Amino acid sequence: MGIYKDLGRNPGVFRVLVSQLVARFPFGMLSIVMLLHMQHAFGDYTSAGIVLAAQSVGQAISGPLTSRLMGRLGMRRVLSVTSIICAALLTTIAFVHLPLLIVTSLSFLIGITTPPVTPAVRTLYPRIVPGNQISALFSLDAAAQEIIWVVGPVVAVFVASQFGTVAGLCVAAAFMVLGGAWFISSPAFDKVRIPKARSRFGAVLRRPTVVIATTVTFFFVASFAAIEVAIVRAFAPAGEGAGHASLESGIVLAVFASGSLVGGLLMGHRAVRPWSLLLRVLVVLAGTLACLVSLNIWWLATVLFIGGMGTAPTFAAVSSMIGVTVKFSETAEAFGWIGTGQLVGVATGSAIAGIAIDASGAEGAILVSGGLLTIAAIIAAATTRWIPDLKGKDIEPPPETSTLTIPLP
């Protein structure tokens, strides 16, 4: 654990870590709050799924584009504009009751203007700590990310159950604006500038590690969205319908988050080996499938804590893979594609799980989560040849230039 203490000796590291966590926190809230808000407004999960799907399409388009723009316009400018517009759209949906078609259009725009915080911060990391500490910082970031993806829904459930879904959307918008302002004001932004990428847009997808990371995390995060919806449905108050949340579901999701935090701190900083990604996904899969045994709160809390221990280490492995195989000028775009995969995964997982709940209840959504994780495990197993072996190596990006061989006359 001493490696985490060493990180504190680098000026501004923990400010960047905490501020980006606050700025990204709404991403973990939105899928659940939007699902509950739309179900309450239109009376079914299918309509909610349509709205979330529109948001996912917008995010799929914007993720790599806004990340690429940071190299041209600057990180602060892109983050500021997108945060303000996205928060304004969320507030509009919260307070104005609109037809489904218009709400779907606004949800698409929310996806388009999603602030590219993740690619920004993971581009900063390799420039604010030495190479031998980047793996530990990625691990700590992965543990923090689990606060977003798992504790975020806990906050969403609590606010929605106590104050309503309008308040939940407003809280998400507030986190987005205030957290974004705190993150953007970090002095680290004055020291780092993303150089303009020389390659064409999308060329980074030729790198196998980027494709692997994007695909695996899509299914991985989609499974979390599905299990979260399943937990909310399993503990919906009797007689109030599935569109209402309960504190029991928040407790279970909090335990899930605790398992991820523990796993990230204990194992996430370990060097990535070719089989690391698969083994970590399998831990989560085992915990998820065990949920089918019983919907008892104590059983779910126990198995999800165990499964959660593989979550943060999986994200740490993905970040390390990218950090060592992608040029610095292309890092933001690479993480943009990965972030798109994760954000689209959240919306897609929630949408599919919502349909499954309408058909067969909480167990259906758990099966959806398990199926998504199984696909992620298969992909990780089939791509081990492209996953780097980082044992005993520092995390350093490849050089921006390559050797040019000139033939002799």
Pairwise CA distance, residues 105 & 152, whole Å: 25
CA distance 184 to 67: 15
Output phi, psi for 205, to 5 deg.
-70, -5
- Provide the 10 A C-beta neighbour count for residue 3: 14
* Domains of the chain, each with CATH number or no CATH: 15-188+204-386 (1.20.1250.20)
The pLDDT of residue 219 is 95
Task: List pLDDT tens digits, range 297-348.
Answer: 899 999 999 999 998 888 888 888 887 788 777 777 888 788 778 777 877 8
pLDDT of residue 267: 75
What's the pLDDT score for residue 406?
43
CB 164 within 8 A of CB 78: no
| Number of other CB atoms surrounding residue 315 within 10 Å | 28
Would you say the C-alpha torsion 115, 332, 64, 285 has a positive or negative sign? negative
- CA–CA dist 206, 300 (Å, integer): 40
Residue type, 22: V
Q: Which residues of the chain have pLDDT under 70?
A: 1-4, 131, 146, 149-150, 194-199, 237-246, 268-269, 392-409
CA nearest 370: which of 378, 338, 100, 46? 378
Hunting for tokens 């979330």 — which residue is that? 52
Percentage helix, strand, coil, to 5, in the chain?
80, 0, 20
Q: What is the pLDDT of residue 407?
A: 46
pTM score of the predicted model = 0.72
pLDDT value of position 179: 93
Distance of alpha carbon 28 from alpha carbon 347, whole angstroms: 11
Distance CA(229)–CA(26), nearest Å, equals: 17
For 122, 311, 317, the CA distances from 267, given in Å and listed in that order, are 20, 10, 10
> CB under 8 Å to 245, separation ≥6 — which residues?
32, 36, 156, 157, 158, 160, 161, 232, 236
Q: Are 139 and 273 in contact (CB under 8 A)?
A: no
For residue 242, the model assigns a pLDDT of 43
170 with 262: CB under 8 angstroms?
no
**pLDDT of amino acid 2:** 61
Query: Which helix (DSSP H) or strand (DSSP E) does residue 259 occupy?
Result: helix 247-267
Rounded Cα gap, residues 134 and 320, in angstroms = 8
Ordered alpha helix ranges (H), 296-402: 297-308, 311-325, 328-360, 362-382
